[in-house]
């Protein structure tokens, strides 16, 4: 089989995995070299079943997660979870041919040590997220809950619409997570007012505490920025270079949190200010930097 691009191979194998009931990982990828420097042009790719790899055990020891190869007995003080890795050989290997089309050079369809079935797709996070993002289902779930419909009733309705739980690609926990995430992003439940009231109390206790916020057209909190007394003092001494870090928007929790950081005379990173932003757009960044400067 040939495909027009690397993305087409990636999409096809993920769709195949979802249909069969197993997860897909990009096990290896290499790029073309030009002048001794790696470029972003891909030259080979390997996709595998997510059960590929040697099995291991996970346990928590003194508050830290450690990995061991030998089985450990479960006890009240020792939590152990078996890994899903079972050395499954299912995979595809692809690379561009002479016509610059991506060709499947090696394909292993047989799975070993586990048996994928279509119904098992709902246990794989990637496929559940795709189901939630389909047809704005996440927004509809939030709107239904905001209208007074309980999460349990929403979940039962979804099961009925799909003619059974086995045909539903999401769980009740997924529904709860979607609604909780939407609530956090919209800062509902009085969180915004509580935060602003706390900021006012901080200003009353210390006049060097600084904060500003913006509201949207509906009166909802849009952005907020705050700098405490210690950060303001640090900025006066080490404000030559200020870095704006928005990578927290892309972490696992997707928290809309950003911060301003600098470097002190010891070469250590120091916090200079914090902000909660609802959107990563030019207007927001302009407001933040104008506020900061």
pLDDT in tens, 121-152: 878 888 877 777 665 666 667 677 666 777 77
DSSP assigned state of 22: -
d(CA 152, CA 189): 20
Q: For residues 209 and 105, state if they share a domain.
A: no
Check whether 201 has a pLDDT greater than 50.
yes
Over the stretch 203-213, which tens digit does the pLDDT of each residue have? 888 888 988 88
pLDDT of residue 20: 92
DSSP track, 61-113:
ETTEEEEESS----BTTB-EEE-S------EEEEEE-TTS-EEEEEEE----S
Asked whether residue 262 is domain-assigned, the answer is yes
pLDDT of residue 155: 72
Q: For residues 6 and 101, state if they share a domain.
A: yes
Q: For residues 9 and 107, state if they share a domain.
A: yes
d(CA 211, CA 78): 45
Alpha carbons within 13 A on the beta-carbon side of 205: 8
Over the stretch 24-60, which tens digit does the pLDDT of each residue have? 999 988 888 877 777 778 889 999 999 998 876 655 5
Residue count (the chain): 293
Q: Are 203 and 209 in contact (CB under 8 A)?
A: yes
Q: For residues 8 and 105, state if they share a domain.
A: yes
Q: For residues 156 and 112, state if they share a domain.
A: no
pLDDT of residue 55: 76
Q: Are 141 and 168 in contact (CB under 8 A)?
A: no
Q: For residues 149 and 220, state if they share a domain.
A: no
Read off the tokens for 212.
């500003």
CA angle 144, 182, 143 (to 5 degrees): 15
d(CA 31, CA 157): 47
Q: Are 271 and 259 in contact (CB under 8 A)?
A: yes
Q: What range does the domain containing 127 cover?
A: 121-186
Q: For residues 196 and 209, state if they share a domain.
A: yes
Is the pTM of the predicted complex or chain greater than 0.95?
no
Q: For residues 199 and 278, state if they share a domain.
A: yes
Residue 182: which pLDDT band, with cuts at 50, 70 and 90? low
**Number of structural domains the chain divides into:** 3
Q: For residues 173 and 201, state if they share a domain.
A: no
Q: What percent of the chain has pLDDT over 70?
A: 69
C-alpha closest to that of 159 among 170, 148, 150: 170
Over the stretch 71-113, which tens digit does the pLDDT of each residue have? 444 444 444 456 688 899 999 999 999 999 999 999 999 999 9
The strand order across the sheet containing 80-82 reads 64-68, 57-61, 80-82
Q: For residues 162 and 176, state if they share a domain.
A: yes
Q: For residues 125 and 94, state if they share a domain.
A: no
Place of tokens 């999401």: 170
Q: What rounded mean pLDDT belongs to the chain? A: 78
d(CA 72, CA 201): 51
Check whether 218 has a pLDDT greater than 70.
no
Asked whether residue 75 is domain-assigned, the answer is no
Read off the tokens for 205.
């206790």
């Amino acid at each position: 089989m040939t495909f027009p691009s690397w993305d087409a191979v990636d999409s096809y194998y993920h769709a195949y995995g979802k249909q069969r009931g197993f997860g897909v990982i990009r096990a290896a990828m290499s790029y073309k070299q030009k002048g001794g420097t790696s470029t972003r042009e891909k030259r080979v790719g390997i996709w595998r079943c997510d059960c590929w790899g040697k099995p291991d055990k996970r346990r928590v020891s003194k508050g830290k997660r450690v990995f061991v190869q030998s089985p450990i007995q479960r006890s009240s003080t020792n939590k152990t979870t078996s890994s899903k890795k079972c050395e499954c050989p299912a995979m595809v290997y692809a690379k561009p041919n002479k016509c610059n089309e991506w060709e499947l050079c090696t394909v292993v369809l047989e799975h070993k040590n586990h048996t994928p079935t279509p119904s098992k797709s709902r246990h794989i996070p990637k496929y559940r997220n795709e189901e939630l993002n389909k047809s704005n289902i996440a927004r509809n779930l939030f709107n239904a809950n905001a209208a007074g419909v309980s999460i349990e009733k929403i979940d039962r309705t979804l099961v009925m619409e799909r003619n059974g739980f086995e045909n539903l690609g999401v769980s009740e926990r997924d529904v709860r997570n979607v609604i909780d995430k939407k609530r956090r992003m919209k800062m509902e439940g009085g969180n915004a007012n509580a935060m602003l009231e706390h900021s006012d109390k901080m200003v009353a206790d210390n006049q060097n505490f600084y904060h500003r916020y913006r509201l949207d057209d509906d009166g909802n909190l849009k952005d907020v920025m705050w700098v405490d007394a210690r950060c303001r003092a640090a900025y006066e001494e080490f404000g030559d270079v200020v870095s704006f870090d928005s990578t927290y928007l892309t972490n696992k929790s997707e928290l809309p949190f950003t911060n301003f950081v600098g470097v002190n005379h010891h070469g250590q990173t120091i916090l200079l200010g914090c902000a909660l932003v609802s959107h990563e757009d030019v207007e927001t960044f302009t407001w933040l930097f104008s506020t900061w400067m």
